[in-house]
């Protein structure tokens, strides 16, 4: 069940950590599956996508097609882009990338996630504000409070990483001191984002059930089963992404000191407390 080193102590189970390549592949399949399932739900059961309301009469409109950009973009932001940002140092999509390239990839993925969040929030607000004959209130639910907290924290985390590790880039000792906080915040934002998505999916499901007065067998239709499956996918995706950050049970490679002048050490980011091979290094 476990590989052993010369002293007889188990270094890892077959499943890791660090996990096998098959586990990374499964993680990415779950990321893509989550986005695809949200796309199916919004297009086939929630009315599709649009940039303007659909008028059902001279005084009443339907803004669901505008709102549907919100879950779709959030499904890109967290289960895909933010998840890949967390994996960029350990197991990047292109394994041959050098450390500086992984750093750029990490930052670009985080920026892409933020961009999706911005447009997703705009879509939610627009769908509320454009509703006729009466606008829908904004920021009234637990989901919206969780979402705004996660969004603001994501911005602060991105700015912190940019300032400390990229530009203007602080001194090595300062980067070492801030790195654990940056690592923690990155994981925390990711988990908060998935939790907020789960809360939003449940809120939308409740609206569907109440609005369409679904009872009996109707509660077991695809319209209700898909969001339930999505919530499970969010859990599994989150667990697998975080598992990639779990350090190995034993470290057989001596830790090397961080030296000024060794660019391969100093160009790393706090998201990679361990190298892809499982070596426990704190390169910042």
CATH code, 111: 1.20.120.1770
17 prior amide bond cis, ω within 30: yes
Q: Does residue 203 form part of some domain?
A: yes
Residue 54 φ then ψ, to 5° = -105, 125
pLDDT of residue 218: 87
DSSP result, 259-273: -TT-HHHHT--TT-S
Q: Using only the alpha carbons of the chain, give its radius of gyration.
A: 22
Is the alpha carbon torsion for 191, 192, 196, 197 positive or negative?
Answer: negative
What is the domain extent for residue 209? Answer: 30-251
Q: Write the pLDDT tens digit of every residue in 189-244.
A: 999 999 999 999 999 999 999 988 988 988 999 999 999 999 999 999 999 999 99
> How many Cβ atoms from other residues are within 10 Å of residue 212's Cβ?
11
For residue 145, is it within any domain? yes
Task: Please give the mean pLDDT across all residues of the chain.
Answer: 86
State the pTM of this model. 0.84
DSSP state of 220: G
3-class secondary-structure state, position 27: helix
Domain count, the chain: 1
Residue 264 located in a structural domain: no
pLDDT tens, position by position, 20-40: 899 999 999 999 999 999 999
283 has a pLDDT exceeding 50: no
pLDDT of residue 259 exceeding 80 = no
The residues near 105 (Cβ < 8 Å, ≥ 6 apart) are 88, 92, 93, 97
195 contacts: CB under 8 Å, gap ≥ 6: 146
Q: Phi and psi (nearest 5°) for 105? A: -60, -45
Which residue, among 20, 190, 18, has the nearest Cα to 109 in the 3D structure? Answer: 190
Give, to the nearest 10 degrees, the angle between helix 142-161 and helix 99-129. 150
Residue-wise pLDDT for 51-84, tens only, equals 999 999 999 999 999 999 999 999 999 999 999 9
Local confidence band at 3 (pLDDT 50, 70, 90 cut-offs)? low
How confident is the model over 110-151, as pLDDT tens digits?
A: 999 999 999 999 999 999 999 999 999 999 999 999 999 999
State yes or no: pLDDT of 268 exceeds 50: no
How far apart, in Å, do the first and last CA atoms of the chain sit? 34
Q: Is position 212 within any domain? A: yes
Q: Note whether residue 139 is domain-resident.
A: yes
In a domain, 273, yes or no: no
Instruction: Tell me, yes or no, whether 25 lies in a domain.
Output: no
| Cα gap 96→103, rounded to integer Å | 13
Task: Specify if 256 maps to a domain.
Answer: no
61-62 and 10-13 beta bridge pairing: unpaired
∠ CA 194-233-212, rounded to 5°: 85
């Amino acid at each position: 069940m476990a590989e052993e080193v010369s002293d007889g102590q188990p270094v890892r189970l077959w499943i890791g950590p660090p996990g096998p390549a098959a586990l990374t592949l499964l993680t990415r399949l779950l990321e893509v599956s989550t986005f695809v399932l949200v796309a199916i739900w919004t297009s086939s059961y929630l009315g599709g996508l649009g940039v303007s309301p659909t008028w059902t009469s001279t005084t009443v409109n339907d803004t669901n097609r505008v709102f549907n950009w919100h879950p779709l973009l959030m499904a890109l932001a967290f289960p895909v882009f933010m998840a890949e940002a967390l994996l960029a140092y350990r197991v990047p999509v292109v394994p041959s990338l050098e450390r500086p390239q992984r750093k750029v990839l990490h930052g670009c993925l985080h920026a892409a996630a933020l961009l999706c969040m911005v447009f997703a929030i705009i879509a939610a607000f627009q769908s509320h504000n454009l509703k006729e004959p009466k606008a829908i209130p904004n920021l009234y639910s637990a989901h919206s409070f969780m979402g705004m907290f996660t969004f603001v924290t994501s911005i602060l985390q991105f700015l912190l990483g940019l300032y400390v590790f990229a530009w203007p880039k602080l001194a090595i000792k300062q980067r070492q001191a801030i790195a654990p906080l940056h690592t923690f915040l990155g994981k925390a934002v990711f988990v908060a984002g998935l939790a907020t998505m789960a809360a939003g999916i449940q809120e939308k499901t409740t609206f569907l059930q109440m609005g369409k007065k679904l009872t009996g067998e109707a509660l077991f239709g695809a319209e209700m089963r898909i969001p339930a499956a999505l919530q499970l996918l969010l859990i599994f995706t989150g667990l697998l992404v975080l598992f990639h950050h779990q350090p190995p049970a034993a470290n057989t490679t001596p830790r090397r000191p961080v030296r000024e002048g060794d660019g391969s050490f100093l160009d790393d980011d706090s998201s990679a407390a361990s190298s892809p091979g499982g070596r426990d290094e704190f390169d910042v």
